[in-house]
């Protein structure tokens, strides 16, 4: 049995999901199989989702979220249900398909705001020990996950175009 490595991309800055997508592309380039489970995301018109869907069968991407942004202070009951369904789906994936790379996008934030319980996530990480790499993204990575990780990168926002009045741009920001 091989050892899983856990990478975390967290922080308030941009690029957490894009970094995980880069890890997926690198793995696919070497013939590895990748599964991406996105929590709190349900938009299918974003560039990374569109591109990754084209990388079948080496890459599979699944979303467990609404199109709308989650209210971090007061999540909707549906947000809890979708997050739980995403975690259960990820558990089935690691038991049945055993991907080489498992990316759990926005999982950190889902735990931080209470959509998922840290104990359940730690159990999933133990069940996924046959994966070569597990990538967790999202702001506010819980201490328990940071301690378990082999690599943690925190991204800090220094400057952002939205703050100067530039709206999100198709193909650049989404």
- Convert the pLDDT of each residue in 128-137 to its tens digit: 989 999 999 9
Residue 26 has pLDDT above 70, yes or no: yes
Query: How far, in Å, CA of 140 to CA of 162, rounded?
Result: 21
Residue ranges per structural domain of the chain: 5-157
The string of pLDDT tens digits covering residues 106-116 is 999 999 999 99
**In CATH, what is the architecture of 5-157?**
3-Layer(aba) Sandwich (3.40)
Q: Report the pLDDT value the prediction gives residue 76, as an integer from 0 to 100.
A: 97
Q: What is the pLDDT of residue 2?
A: 65
Q: What is the pTM of this model?
A: 0.93
pLDDT digits (tens, 9 = 90+) for 70-114: 999 999 999 999 999 999 999 999 999 889 999 999 999 999 999
């Amino acid at each position: 049995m091989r050892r899983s490595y856990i990478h975390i991309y967290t922080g308030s800055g941009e690029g957490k999901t894009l970094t995980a997508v880069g890890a997926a592309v690198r793995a696919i380039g070497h013939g590895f199989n990748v599964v991406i489970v996105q929590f709190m995301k349900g938009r299918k018109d974003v560039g990374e989702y569109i591109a990754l869907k084209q990388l079948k069968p080496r890459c599979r991407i699944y979303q467990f979220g609404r199109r709308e942004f989650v209210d971090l202070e007061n999540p909707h009951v549906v947000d809890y249900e979708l997050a739980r369904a995403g975690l259960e789906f990820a558990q089935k994936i690691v038991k049945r398909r055993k991907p080489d790379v498992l990316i759990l996008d926005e999982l950190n934030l889902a735990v931080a705001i209470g959509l998922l319980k840290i104990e359940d996530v730690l159990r999933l990480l133990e069940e996924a020990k046959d994966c070569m790499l597990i990538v967790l993204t999202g702001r506010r990575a819980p201490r328990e996950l940071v301690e378990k990780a082999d690599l943690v990168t925190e991204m800090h926002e220094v400057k952002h175009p939205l703050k100067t009045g530039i709206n999100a741009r198709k193909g650049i920001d989404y």
